[in-house]
Amino acid sequence: MPFNSESAREAGRKSKRGKNKQFDPTIKDKMEMLYETVLDDLIINSKDLSNSDKVKLVQTLSNYLLPKTKTVRDQFTIQELKDRKEQDIYDRDPDPTK
């Protein structure tokens, strides 16, 4: 049987994958309202938070707001590591770009 629009339609009807499993827009709207309410409450009551709670909050939020960075080694650090390598038993190049 050749594959054409009619056979594709029939195959789609027989598919066992089921319907698209996305949330209803109403659930998404409710979640957004909940987040907004919680954030508003945090802003209003930020003076009631302890210092450790504030640090945890900033740390958690920064994972979503700030871009991830890679470690960077300058030439001085690479030279120092190469000097240590001569005394070290490992055979790795300290320059991560190589």
Q: What is the dihedral of CA 88, 90, 95, 98, to 10 degrees?
A: 150
Give the dihedral sign, CA 12/16/20/26: positive
For 17-47, the pLDDT digits (tens) are 766 666 667 877 887 888 888 888 888 888 8
Q: pTM, whole model, 2 decimals? A: 0.38
Res. 74 pLDDT band, cuts 50 70 90: confident
What the block records as the tokens of 30 is 């409710």
**What pLDDT does residue 21 have?**
61
**Cβ–Cβ < 8 Å for 70, 49:** no
Res. 94 pLDDT band, cuts 50 70 90: low
**What pLDDT does residue 86 have?**
65
Percent of the chain with pLDDT over 90: 0
Cα separation, 90 vs 53, in Å, equals 42
Amino acid at 50: S
**Cβ–Cβ < 8 Å for 94, 81:** yes
**What pLDDT does residue 80 have?**
81
